[in-house]
């Protein structure tokens, strides 16, 4: 199948059988996703206040907007056509760290435009706001930030980098016993660690390079060209405003750790998944360079399951049943975009138990005839 030219104005729909899928087996996957709804409190503010990220006050203070979550929903696309959907796929929901993959898109646009000539060059060569001047931070490159290996040290928007030291993504909320225990820092590029403060530092650096709010860049360069809706929003924090060229601009967050982040519908998520599957092309137009898509889905030196803010399946860790070529945008909830180039599949699944997602994937794979 060739999904290189999906209809831009609206999704085409087809039966599973028409797209080489067993309808009964695919329905079992859908039923599985609905039956294994996330236990995350529908009141997201309450979930964060109850310690979802296991942080002490005052660091745990919510500084960005939040909205309650909806019911489980999702969509499965093959050959650029919707073959299954469930729940309200037009509902705008918080998407947590799946937002990081959208930061990667923005970084790719900056590279494509020549605003960032070399992602392996120190950020301080382009960003002179003091955030990369210290001995610890001066050698940090754009690639380090994108691969989560920067070891950036500092405080941003009243959140210190060390609050995510020793963060174990395999742990359950409230059981992150080592998280937030300050440790000795490594040389940039020598230690992989999931850390939201450093991701927010990347968002600020990209804002300074573009000199435009990232939501404006994303809308003009990506979302409008792929005919996304106008319902999505990308928020920062109440204290994340900076002045650039005499204008006050909000630096957005790369997740919803303390509120904010990208709020978006499932169908709009799916368009991004399709764009990545199409190697950055949409209806014959190259929105994002093929080279950036390749770089985004190439394992970083310190973690074979992570690229440039996209999760990879190189070891089968994300989904053992999925091809090793699969890649994912993933956020708490769970909110997941799964892209499977081998089988020409894009799937968005939301509010499923994180630990049951691999079983859902296995059921989708089993439906392929």
Percent of the chain's residues with pLDDT above 70: 95
Phi, psi of 118 (to 5 degrees): -150, 115
pLDDT at 1 over 90: no
Of 271, 298, 326, 309, nearest to 104 by C-alpha is 309
Mark whether 58 and 163 lie in a shared domain. no
Mark whether 49 and 24 lie in a shared domain. yes
Mark whether 161 and 209 lie in a shared domain. yes
pLDDT, residue 176, reads 61
Full domain range(s) for residue 275:
12-100+263-366
pLDDT, residue 2, reads 36
* 77, two tokens: 């696309």
pLDDT, residue 237, reads 98
Mark whether 246 and 279 lie in a shared domain. no
Mean pLDDT over 185-200 rounds to 97
pLDDT tens digits for range 156-165: 999 999 999 9
Task: Tell me the HSE value of 45 on the side-chain side, using a 13 A CA sphere.
Answer: 7
- Beta strand 261-264 pairing with 233-244: antiparallel
Mean pLDDT over 132-157 rounds to 98
- Last residue in a domain, options 232, 252, 272: 252
Please, which pLDDT band fits residue 11 given cuts at 50, 70 and 90?
Answer: confident
Radius of gyration of the chain (CA): 20
pLDDT tens digits for range 195-226: 999 999 999 999 999 999 999 999 999 999 99
Percent of the chain's residues with pLDDT above 90: 90
pLDDT, residue 56, reads 87
Please, which pLDDT band fits residue 173 given cuts at 50, 70 and 90?
Answer: low
Report the mean per-residue pLDDT for the chain: 94
Mark whether 221 and 275 lie in a shared domain. no
Q: Does residue 105 fall inside a structural domain?
A: no
Of 92, 86, 75, nearest to 265 by C-alpha is 92
Mark whether 216 and 288 lie in a shared domain. no
Three-class SS state of 13: strand
Three-class SS state of 100: helix
Mark whether 59 and 160 lie in a shared domain. no
pLDDT at 231 over 60: yes
Burial call 304-328: b when 16+ CB within 10 Å, e when fewer? ebbbbbbbbbbeeebbebbeeebbb
Phi, psi of 29 (to 5 degrees): -65, -45
pTM: 0.95
More confident residue, 52 or 235: 235
Q: Does residue 233 fall inside a structural domain?
A: yes
- Last residue in a domain, options 252, 285, 319: 252
CATH code where residue 351 lies: 3.40.710
**Of the ranges 170-184, 235-249, 268-282, which one carries the lowest mean pLDDT score?**
170-184
Mark whether 244 and 267 lie in a shared domain. no
Strand partners, 336: 330, 349
> What is the H or E stretch that residue 114 is in?
none
Of 96, 108, 56, 156, nearest to 334 by C-alpha is 96
pLDDT at 6 over 70: no
Q: Does residue 299 fall inside a structural domain?
A: yes
Q: Does residue 2 fall inside a structural domain?
A: no
Torsion angle, alpha carbons of 80, 340, 337, 293, to 10: -90
pLDDT, residue 4, reads 39
> What is the H or E stretch that residue 263 is in?
strand 261-264
pLDDT tens digits for range 44-103: 999 999 888 888 899 999 999 999 999 999 999 999 999 999 999 999 999 999 999 999
* 361, two tokens: 């994937």
Mean pLDDT over 232-238 rounds to 98
- Last residue in a domain, options 218, 252, 286: 252
Mark whether 85 and 165 lie in a shared domain. no
pLDDT, residue 171, reads 65
Please, which pLDDT band fits residue 3 given cuts at 50, 70 and 90?
Answer: very low
Cα separation of 252 and 265, whole Å? 18
Mark whether 72 and 140 lie in a shared domain. no
Q: Does residue 130 fall inside a structural domain?
A: yes
What's the total number of domains in the chain? 2
- Torsion over CA: 64, 133, 296, 189 (sign): negative
Mark whether 233 and 308 lie in a shared domain. no
Q: Does residue 206 fall inside a structural domain?
A: yes
Residue whose structure tokens are 């530092």: 201
Q: Does residue 276 fall inside a structural domain?
A: yes
Mark whether 248 and 124 lie in a shared domain. yes
Q: Does residue 112 fall inside a structural domain?
A: no
């Amino acid at each position: 199948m060739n999904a290189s030219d999906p209809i831009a104005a609206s999704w085409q729909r087809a039966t599973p059988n028409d797209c080489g899928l067993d309808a009964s087996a695919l329905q079992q996957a859908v039923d599985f996703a609905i039956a294994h709804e996330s236990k995350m409190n529908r009141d997201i503010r309450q979930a964060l206040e109850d310690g979802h990220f296991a942080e002490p006050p005052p660091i745990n203070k919510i500084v960005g907007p939040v909205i309650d979550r909806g019911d489980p929903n999702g969509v499965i696309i093959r050959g650029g056509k919707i073959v299954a959907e469930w729940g309200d796929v037009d509902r705008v929901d918080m998407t947590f760290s799946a937002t990081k993959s959208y930061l990667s898109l923005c970084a790719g646009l900056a590279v494509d435009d020549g605003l960032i000539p070399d992602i392996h060059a120190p950020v301080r060569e382009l960003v002179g706001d003091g955030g990369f001047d210290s001995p610890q931070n001066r050698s940090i490159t754009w690639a380090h930030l994108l691969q989560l290996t920067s070891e950036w040290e500092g405080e941003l928007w009243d959140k210190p980098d060390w609050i995510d030291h020793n963060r174990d993504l395999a742990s359950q909320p409230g059981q992150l016993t080592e998280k937030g225990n300050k440790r000795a820092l490594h040389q940039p590029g020598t230690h992989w660690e999931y850390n939201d403060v450093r991701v927010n530092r990347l968002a600020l650096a990209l804002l300074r390079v573009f000199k435009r709010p990232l939501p404006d860049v994303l809308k003009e360069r990506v979302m409008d060209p792929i005919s996304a809706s106008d319902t999505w929003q990308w928020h920062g924090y109440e204290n994340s405003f900076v002045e650039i060229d005499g204008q006050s601009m909000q630096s957005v967050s790369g997740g919803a750790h303390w509120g904010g982040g990208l709020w978006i519908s499932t169908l709009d998520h799916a368009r991004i998944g399709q764009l990545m599957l199409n190697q950055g092309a949409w209806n014959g137009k190259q929105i994002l360079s093929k080279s950036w898509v390749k770089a985004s889905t190439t394992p970083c030196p310190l973690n074979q399951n992570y690229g440039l803010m996209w999760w990879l399946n190189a070891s089968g860790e994300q989904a053992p049943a999925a091809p090793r070529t699969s890649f994912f945008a993933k956020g708490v909830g769970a909110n997941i975009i799964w892209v499977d180039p081998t089988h020409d599949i894009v799937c968005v699944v939301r509010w499923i138990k994180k630990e049951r997602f691999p079983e859902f994937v296995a059921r989708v794979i089993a439906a392929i005839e």
